[in-house]
Every structure is written in C-alpha cells, then in structure tokens.
Amino acid sequence: MAKVTLTVNGRTVSGECEERTLLVHFIRDKLGLTGTHVGCDTTQCGACVIHMDGKSVKSCSILAVQASGSSVTTIEGLSSQRELHPVQAAFKEHHGLQCGFCTPGMVMTAVDMINRHGGKLDEATVRHELEGNICRCTGYHNIVKAVLSANAEMQAGRQAAE
C-alpha cells in the first residue's frame, strides 16, 4: 500500500491505496468525487480528464502515487456550485451534452484548450484538439459550438479585464 497526499479542488487530501491504483480510481473511490468518469480501458475516450498542476490529464493514464504532491482540479472544483464556469454555461446554452457521461472530461479538456490557445481558436483547431474525447450522443456539433462560444466569451472577459 502507498500513501498519497495531494491537493484536490483546493483541499489537501491523503489516502492509502495500492501502488497500482490509477488516479481516476483514487479520485472516484477514495475521495468520492464521482464526476470524473471511466469510459474505456485504453486512454482513448477522455471521460476521465482532470487538471493536474494546471494541465489537462487523462486520470486513467497516471497512477495515484505519481500524482502525489500535485494539485488536481476535477469537474467538481471547476466552479463554485452556485455559478457555472463559462465553459459549463456554454455547454448548457448550446446543448453540448445529452447523456452527460463524457461531459466532465469534455469540459475539462475545453477549459485547458481555451487557456492554451489564448483566444485564438477556430473550428478546425477545436475539432482537432477534441480528438482525445469521445462523445456518442451529440455528433460533436453543439460541443464545438459551445467551445467556440465559451472561447469568445472568455476572450472578451480577458480583454475587458486588461
């Protein structure tokens, strides 16, 4: 057994787990944060995407012990529960989700994508960057619209702040 200590959604948490425990299972089973999902066994589907030290990571492709000492944000910590993050709000506005299972990973990927591209996102880039997140419900149409819309809004917010 290994001891894992990390910061999750701003709180320091510790727990014991087997060395082979994946970060996603630690988050779901030990911390009870079940918003992060498991949709495949091969790091293809992206339902488990979280942010680790500010970068999007598939939490099924990293061991919990490797994440020890890092700072993790899951879908539960993306926004205050009262107000949606602009990406979450855009997914709602544009009907970018149906069954909701891929949604946490999609949203976490989209937030990271928008941050990295600093407002310079077009449809082709969004589609390319979503390659690691599979959705079976939406045909991606409204997801791509939501990401572009959130990007525009966040860019406008940044400009207003400057």
Partner 1 sequence: MGVEGIGARVTRKEDKRFLTGKGRYTDDMSVPGMKHAFFVRSPHAHARIRSIDVSAAKAMPGVIDVLDGKQLQADGIGNLICGWMIHSKDGSPMKMGAWRPLAHEVVRYVGDAVAIVVADSSAEARDAAEAVVVDYEELPAVTESLVALEAGAPQLHPEAPGNLIFDWQIGDPDATDQAIASAAHVTEIEIHNNRLSPNPMEPRATLGIYDTGDDHYTCYTTSQNPHVARLVMSAFYNVAPENKLRVIAPDVGGGFGSKIYIYPEEIVCLWASRKTGVPVKWVSDRTEAFLTDAHGRDHVSKVKMAFDADHRIIGLKVDTIANLGAYMSLFSSCVPTYLYATLLSGQYAIPAIHANVRTVYTNTVPVDAYRGAGRPEATYLLERTMETAARELGLSPAELRRKNFIRSFPHQTPVIMNYDAGDYEASLDAAMEAVDWKGFSARRAEAETRGKKRGIGMSCYIEACGLAPSAAVGSLGAGVGLWESAEVRVNAVGTIEVLTGSHSHGQGHETTFAQVVADRLGVSIDSVNIVHGDTDKVQMGMGTYGSRSGAVGMSAVVKALDKVEAKAKKIAAHLMEADESDIVIENGELKVAGTDKTVPWFQVALAAYTAHNLPSGMEPGLKETAFYDPANFTFPAGCYIAEVEIDPETGKTEIIQFVAADDFGNIINPLIVEGQVHGGLAQGIGQALLEDVKYDRETGQLLTASYMDYAMPRADDLPFFKLSHQNTPCPGNPLGVKGCGEAGAIGSPPALMNAITDAIGDNSLTMPATPMKVWQALQTAH
Rounded to an integer, what distance in angstroms lies between the CA atom of residue 112 and that of residue 116?
Answer: 6
Is position 7 an interface residue for partner 1 (rule: CB under 8 A)?
Answer: no
Of residues 123, 156, 157, 158, which one binds partner 1 by CB under 8 A? 123
Rounded to an integer, what distance in angstroms lies between the CA atom of residue 39 and that of residue 152?
Answer: 30
**Do the beta carbons of residue 129 and residue 56 sit within 8 Å?**
no
Q: Which two tokens stand for residue 31?
A: 């911390």
Is position 16 an interface residue for partner 1 (rule: CB under 8 A)?
Answer: no
Is position 98 an interface residue for partner 1 (rule: CB under 8 A)?
Answer: yes
Of residues 59, 73, 142, 151, which one binds partner 1 by CB under 8 A? 142
Is position 19 an interface residue for partner 1 (rule: CB under 8 A)?
Answer: no
Rounded to an integer, what distance in angstroms lies between the CA atom of residue 50 and that of residue 78?
Answer: 10
Helix (H, G, I), strand (E, B) or coil at 49: strand
Q: Which is nearer to partner 1, 6 or 107 (CB)?
A: 107
Of residues 75, 111, 150, 154, which one binds partner 1 by CB under 8 A? 75
Rounded to an integer, what distance in angstroms lies between the CA atom of residue 98 and that of residue 93?
Answer: 12
Closest contact distance (angstroms) between CB of 41 and partner 1 is: 5
Of residues 56, 70, 73, 103, which one binds partner 1 by CB under 8 A? 103
Closest contact distance (angstroms) between CB of 159 and partner 1 is: 25
Helix (H, G, I), strand (E, B) or coil at 65: helix
Is position 44 an interface residue for partner 1 (rule: CB under 8 A)?
Answer: yes
